[in-house]
Structure 1
Amino acid sequence: MTQAHPVPSGLRLERVVMVMRHGVRAPLSGEVPVTTRTAQPWPNWPVPEGQLTPHGASAIELLARHDRRWLASLALTRCPAAATVRIWTNTASRTIASGEAYAQGFAPDCRLTVGHLAEDRTDPIFEPLAAGATAFNPSQAIASIDRFTGGMAALVARHRPALVLLDTVLGCGHGACSPVDPPSLVASTDRRGIELSGPIRAASGIAQVLLLEDAEGMPRRAVGWGRADPVTIARLGALHAALFDVFTRSPYMAAHQASPLGHRIIDTLTAARAPRLDVMIGHDTNVTALAAALHVALDAPGFARNDVAPGGAMVIERLRDPRSGERFVRLYYRVQSLAAIRALRPEVIATPLAVPGCAAPCRLDRFVALLKARIA
């Protein structure tokens, strides 16, 4: 099942750019350390830390099959030529594996190339701060984040009910939870980024792991020890989304986090020659930074607002009026619901996104001007 949005009458689909999060993965190192706030054992995963699971790969293949049908008007051959489809991933194993799963689902047995830098290199498209890709100033960043959030203490206060709920899921009612540092936001040692400590940092990764347990299809009795039903997981997702309020969603952070990515999008949309489909597979920070730069919110069933689903993507279509030659863009948030990922059901939702200040469909030149004005 998919919610399709036909190309408006009189327009033709020419190009598509997709910025996508990797699929369901095992917990990252440090997300659930052995001392993390509960004495109860965490579930075992079928792959090492941070890697895409077989279940996650299957869900990505389902998304790719949907995208192939959805984008049929791009008129790609059964095995698309390298010049027509470009799949580029970050260097983490989960993003590369997600790219390979996407390629297999999009064009089965065609051996589409999945490009990425060497695994020991930092790709500025996906990790611009670590790559030193912009003139990032941590003091300006922290000031912008404080204006956007009201400060770290206010951010924690807003999410206090979710923090209490997380303690309940963790079984912290009898003193099992470890202490948490007070909220703090400072420049990183190398001054290429910022470092957050305190309740949101401590809770965000745990909330994400609980969601990933559900998405992986673990038995209900194992998801949050039987205390994290879908409604609870969605509420706890606000703690993970709060991390993006710090790292990607303030105007300054969005401008820098989305900069190389945004320029790549502009190049693909405006170049005389470019792939018809350009898929970039990275992380939730990439999707949220782009959304923040464009002033749009990301909503999907089973997820908190702006908590990006595994495999969730921002999709930008370039359309052309063959009579006038004028070009336009349309934006979507393409995603599977949490329930669909869990059950590996072929249910995909493509939600239209309206960019403020850009009527839909948005003129390409207007879209480019808006995005350029909001990225470093």
Structure 2
Amino acid sequence: MNLPRNQISAGLLIACSMWLSALPAHAEAQYQLEKVVELSRHGIRPPTSGNRKEIEAATQRPWTIWTTHDGELTGHGYAAVVNKGRWEGDHYRQLGLLTSDCPQAQEVYVRASPLQRTRATAQALVDGAFPGCGVTVHHVAGEDDPLFQTEAFPATDTDPAQQLAAVTATTGNLVARQQALQPAVQALKSAVCQPGSDCSVFDKPWQIKQSKSGKTYVQGLSVLASMVETLRLGWSENLPADQLAWGNITHSTQITAVLPLLTANYDLSNDVLYTAKKRGSILLNEMIQGVEQGVSPVSDAVPYARWLLFVAHDTNIAMVRTLMGFTWTLPGYTRGNIPPGSSLVFERWRDKQSGERWLHVYFQAQSLDDLRHLQSVNQAHPLLREEWRAPDCRVTEVGTLCPMASTLAKFGQQLDPTAITPISYAP
């Protein structure tokens, strides 16, 4: 488990969050980077068509039409991901994981969720890391991949009755939760509601509901969270002021102020342990097998690559991190927030003196303003980062390293074997 936050000094937290710079030569003498498994969220997009319909109905007014179709990666979002990919490619070349400008055989394997925004994000990542190299982005045919769209497959979908019971138990006192979040609710209402219009959704009591398909959600909170996500994406897209909350949001701190509603929605949806076990076990299992590859025998057909990159959705990251017992609070964001283009990373390091294997596990993202301004990732504008920590980890020059065997055992404790089915990969 993570150490209690109050046991972590502010200086260490900042150092870990902002850790980016090229490592000194003496650090590389003891530790060698052997493997990276990364789970990335797609980049900036407009609201999905379903989100647009619900937020417009709730606020009784049309929201901005973006330059791309609803739900698809924007040009700005592509460029922001290229910036991240460029830094990652350079970083892993410096560390010796990658050997040349274009990847050699078995250096990189990329699998994306089949939706446009994830496939385009994967392309942006490899275009940034390996410009002009024509790296293949793998994805399944159709719209449903068993790794990512887990609600579409019987083995990984949730039982409606069990999910409802799990959400209800997690929620506890919903009235108290709604009351505690009133500062964020009122800030959001001021930003998006037209004076004199019907915005009663902001004042109605929240209720746990279940759709005909069996999806459980908190009525009232879920639509507010969709508004917040749309505003956060709009800020990151650098929409003109009059197209972002009708000129009512002009500073990133106003986005930060409403983000607690997103955290609350995660807490009562994809972060519910029962949901995560059913729908996240298959992906976390692939990540564990990927990072073990070449060291421990594995039964699945995970493709061999020094850098195994999965490009998916915030829901996938949320369920995986819940199984891991890992969360984070990056500067400018709220607890557990998963910004566009952010990623959860497993790095496997070998101690060249002892031969022991260690894991460096962290979550990383660009800041709200760096995304907005398409800021290149560099020492002045590093990726924000928070590391996984446990009592048996050690702080080193390459980051906080944790014993591989015990750390992966902890990550695997919550896996549901019945929700893990074989995955096929294209060569």
Report deviation, 1:254: 2.6
**Matches for 1:155-194 after TM superposition, within 5 Å:** 155-177=177-199, 179=201, 182-191=205-214, 194=215
Are 2:119 and 1:99 aligned? no
Which residue identity does 2:259 align to in structure 1?
G
Are 2:86 and 1:56 aligned? no
Match of 1:304 in 2: 334
* Structure 2: distance between partners of 1:38 and 1:68: 43
Deviates more, 1:291-300 or 1:135-144: 135-144
Report deviation, 1:270: 1.2
Q: 1:221 to 1:302 in 2, by over 3 A?
A: farther
Report deviation, 1:142: 3.1
Match of 1:26 in 2: 46
Are 2:230 and 1:230 aligned? no
**Matches for 1:1-376 after TM superposition, within 5 Å:** 3-4=20-21, 6=23, 10-33=30-53, 35-72=56-93, 73=95, 74-120=97-143, 122-134=144-156, 136-177=158-199, 179=201, 182-191=205-214, 194-228=215-249, 229-272=251-294, 274-347=304-377, 348-356=382-390, 358-360=392-394, 361-376=401-416
* Structure 2: distance between partners of 1:356 and 1:255: 22
Deviates more, 1:331-340 or 1:218-227: 218-227
Q: 1:127 to 1:344 in 2, by over 3 A?
A: same
Structure 2: where are the runs of 5+ without partners? 1-17, 295-302, 395-400, 417-427
Report deviation, 1:177: 1.7
Which residue identity does 1:329 align to in structure 2?
L
Q: 1:327 to 1:342 in 2, by over 3 A?
A: same
Deviates more, 1:54-63 or 1:219-228: 219-228
Report deviation, 1:69: 1.9
Conservation of the 8 A alpha-carbon contact between 2:85 and 2:129: yes
CA deviation map 1:36-83 (0-9, x unaligned): 333544222111110000000000000000111222220332211352
* Structure 1: distance between partners of 2:169 and 2:200: 30
* Structure 2: distance between partners of 1:341 and 1:135: 34
Conservation of the 8 A alpha-carbon contact between 2:150 and 2:157: no
Q: 1:310 to 1:114 in 2, by over 3 A?
A: same
* Structure 1: distance between partners of 2:105 and 2:315: 28
What secondary structure, in the 3-state scheme, does the structure 2 residue paired with 1:48 have?
coil
Q: 1:35 to 1:341 in 2, by over 3 A?
A: closer
Which residue identity does 1:359 align to in structure 2?
C
Report deviation, 1:179: 4.3
Q: 1:197 to 1:106 in 2, by over 3 A?
A: same
Report deviation, 1:132: 2.6
What secondary structure, in the 3-state scheme, does the structure 2 residue paired with 1:296 have?
coil
Which residue identity does 1:335 align to in structure 2?
A
Conservation of the 8 A alpha-carbon contact between 1:146 and 1:152: no
Instruction: Count the aligned residue pairs.
Output: 373
* Structure 1: distance between partners of 2:411 and 2:199: 44
Aligned sequence identity (%): 27
CA deviation map 1:143-194 (0-9, x unaligned): 3333333254443333222112211111344233254775343555444xx2
Q: 1:302 to 1:123 in 2, by over 3 A?
A: same
TM-score, structure 2 length as denominator?
0.81
* Structure 2: distance between partners of 1:295 and 1:94: 28
Conservation of the 8 A alpha-carbon contact between 2:276 and 2:323: yes
What secondary structure, in the 3-state scheme, does the structure 2 residue paired with 1:330 have?
strand
Conservation of the 8 A alpha-carbon contact between 2:201 and 2:220: no
* Structure 1: distance between partners of 2:391 and 2:318: 19
Deviates more, 1:64-73 or 1:170-179: 170-179
Q: 1:185 to 1:207 in 2, by over 3 A?
A: same
TM-score, structure 1 length as denominator?
0.91
Structure 1: where are the runs of 5+ without partners? none
